Chains A and B, each alone.
Chain A
Amino acid sequence: MTDQDAQANAPLHGILAEYDSPTAVVLASKKVRDAGYTRWDTYTPYPIHGIEKAMGIRMTILPWFVIVFAIIGLLTATALQWGTNAMDYKWLISGKPFWSWPANVPIIFELTVLFSAFSTLAGMLALNNLPLLAHPLDLKERFRRVTDDKFFLLIEARDPKFDESNARKLLEATAPVVLDTVKEDRSSSALIPRGLIYAGIVLGVASLVPFAVFAQARTAKMDKGRLHLVWDMDFTPSYKTQSDNPLFEDQRAMRKPPVGTVAQGHLNADDHLHLGKNAEGNWATTLPAGMQADEATMALGKAQFGIYCTPCHGFAGEGNGMVHKKASALGQGWVPPTNLHEERVRNLAAGDMYNTITRGIRNMPAYGSQMDDQERWAVVLYVRALQKSRTVGVGQLTDAERSQLK
């Protein structure tokens, strides 16, 4: 049986009436609705206002479908943000809490709308049975004008109340432009064109390729390093610290800090404290401001003197420390350390003494890196105390101290 014969003998699908005004189709709908038919429909180029009531169409459930998806969207967005930013990788940004609902609301809102919109379109298409690419009505040439300017009404043969002659009589009474029968579509044995099937298979397989590539890339190990597409970023051209740089006069890549650069905490603006010099540039004669000649400073000075000075100068400052004893015993030529009670040393300005401790003199090394400024000044204070202990007269002692002498 050829396709044409098959079509000629196809069973009846329904009776089709054509109208050319919206009023006519609405009035016809009322009659068909009142006659009790259920499997019938009208086809119009645009939605006619009032035809829903005329046909007895009930309100669709689509809005409920959309609400469900809206809630799913809301929960998804909440779970997404909470799960990623507040649970999996807690990420503190500008002191905002991990779950900051004011900052989390915008995305919750957007995803709710997105899910709702998708479900609206998908739900509408699904409820409408679309896409529906084949339908018996497509065989009717005149039906093509349904999307232009003509209105149609179809009573399907499947309707329980259907009787061909009754249906015809009913529709004839509505004064259609044309009344026609529609047969089932037997015009082609293939439901879907071959080409489309082949295209679908090819596209389906092709769409899996990117996923396969990703899977392979994620699981396989590579011998070579990664692909570098942007050399400038992956291998930023830069000079190494010790290499030379022809752009500078001294050919060095490493640059000195500019003149006047000061390390943090090392401004050393107080010359009295750091250099032992007073405002006029002469050696200072007092402790620097901020330091008191008190028990604490004296104790500090004694301790530091004990650590650093006694090896050479001895515990009484006479210059007979252990280093002196051992060095002079070697007999290889040794200049003894200075006796701190000499008149010359007694007459040294405090700042001059401080300077000697800091920078060293002759054989004596510099102690500036081993004691900080205040410790060195404390040592100066202690040396002064030692010197005073040899020069003080009995008359300057207190009664308690005098009684100890006896």
Chain B
Amino acid sequence: MATAASTTNPYNGPLKGDNAFAQITDNVSRIMEAPKPPLAWYLGMAFALSLLGIFGASLGFVVWEGIGAWGHVHPVAWGFPIVNFVFWVGIGHAGTLISAILFLLRQNWRTAINRFAEAMTIFAVVCAAVFPGVHIGRPWLPYWMFPIPNQMGMWPQFRSPLEWDVFAVGTYATVSILFWYMGMIPDFATFRDRSTSTVRRAVYGIVAMGWRGSSRQWHRYERAYLLLAALATPLVLSVHSVVSFDFATSQLPGWHTTIFPPYFVAGAIFGGFAMVVVLAIPARQFFGLKKIITMKHLELMAKVILGTGMLVGYAYAMEMFVAWYSGAMFEQFAFLNRAFGNYAWAYWTMIFCNVMSPQVFWFKKMRTNIWVIFIVGLIVNVGMWFERFVIICTSLTRDFLPANWGNFIPSPVDYATLAGSFGLFFTLFLLFCRYMPMVAMAELKAFIPEGHAHDEDDHH
């Protein structure tokens, strides 16, 4: 694959530049500057756009016909749309973890992947936000969720977890965009300075805000970056906690349990990192970024996947132990039903994908093998989707009163919407890869050995 691609792939040729900084600049900028992206990009875009079309068609159908077009039926009032919502929001969290938390922990290896992880966050949150918007019965009235003065004199119900979602996901989307944009200002400046066409220079120039790399400006920029990282860290913890509150504040067995907030956050990071590797591996291959996103980065990400997978496993164990310990009949039944009831196949899929598959990463050979990392990443994504399905849908099928039990059968529109959401995600992501700086060039340069200023009394 490599040899054939290197003749046609403009991104696999040798790097221009006589020093490390110039090579980084060239490695990343040529992706935007190449007249045509590689064939893989077109193929990916074709696939993504077709899924996006399916997404639009299925959403349009649902808006036209009503949400009965999905498989929702009493008692499973929350079906695929909410599962998809939690799934996508969770994926977004890895990006913020990489940007903000790894920054605060001084893990400098993050600079190779933080830009497109942040982009992944934004696009995942966009995909996520579509679902609450459409799953309300009258999707032309979503502005009712905001405190806008109106003729009815009514206000949103701020004590509801669903309203907290609005604010949490809205804040998260906004702060992620701010953080992502701020990070790109110096790189937009690089694009601006390398542009040959006036249009390109004008567009990148405007978004770069006239950044020229002044050290006095860098000082405030660095402080702002630290502040945003320090803000984003509790924010990302709060967002998925608020999403978990949607379920945990209820009384439904299997939903109401105090460990949900940190459990959901750990699960989100777990699923998110799996998506990051699923994106990073093809991206570094087709965009020629192997020198920047190295095996070491992938191995570290595999370790994070293993670690957060263990946290998720811990939460499963806690839930089961306390279900037994509490002696609460409904709680105990809920967990037995998950493992042995109608949807046991979903439960065991989840256990296999989330708890068992990451265990291969205990072995160095496995976590340094690109194909293993990629496949486990895919498996974990599937597993995390199933985790939300198990929690949300199966708990609803078997609640307190047997008279209220029912089964959930997804409709074809459900599947189409789920598949289509990937179309939106990948379309945005591929556009990002083509037109925006995929790697944080300025940050990366700061942490290579050449980037260090040697003082006369300095011994690094």
Contact = CB atoms under 8 A, between A and B. Distances in A.
Q: Is there any pair of Cβ atoms, one from A and one from B, under 8 angstroms apart in the complex? A: yes
Interface of A: 20-23, 25-27, 29, 41-52, 54-55, 57, 59-60, 62-63, 66, 80-81, 84-85, 88-89, 91, 93, 96, 100, 103-104, 106-107, 109-111, 113-114, 116-118, 120-121, 123-125, 127-128, 130-135, 137, 143-149, 229-230, 232-233
B182 A124 contact: yes
Given A45-B442, A62-B220, A26 B175 contact: no
Given A45-B442, A49-B452, A110 B238 contact: yes
B61 interface: no
Contacts of B443: 46
A79 B446 CA distance: 44
A232 B219 CA distance: 59
A85 B167 CA distance: 16
B212 A148 contact: no
Interface string B439-460: 0011101100011111110100
B258 interface: no
A103 B441 CA distance: 43
B147 A84 contact: yes
Contacts of A229: 140
8 contacts: A51-B218, A59-B223, A84-B155, A111-B167, A116-B227, A117-B175, A146-B213, A148-B25
Looking at B209, B219, B224, B450, the one whose CB has the most chain A CB atoms below 10 A away is B224
B205 A133 contact: yes
> By DSSP majority rule, is chain A's interface helix, strand, loop, or mixed?
helix
B328 interface: no
B189 A85 contact: no
Contacts of B178: 117-118, 120-121
A55 B455 contact: no
Given A47-B221, A52-B219, A130-B210, 5 more contacts: A41-B214, A45-B213, A104-B159, A121-B224, A128-B220
B138 interface: yes
Contacts of A131: 206, 209-210
B194 interface: yes
A20 B147 CA distance: 55
Contact of A80 (B147, B186, B193, B209): B147
B215 A106 contact: no
Contacts of B214: 41-43, 128
Contacts of A89: 153-155
Contact of B242 (A106, A111, A233): A106
Interface stretch (B6-14, B15-23, B263-271, B374-382): B15-23
Nearest to B235: A113
A113 B171 contact: yes
A125 B209 contact: yes
Given A49-B453, A120-B231, A124-B224, A93 B193 contact: no
Contacts of B234: 109, 113
Contacts of A125: 209
A132 B210 contact: yes
A43 B213 contact: yes
B190 A147 contact: yes
B222 A137 contact: no
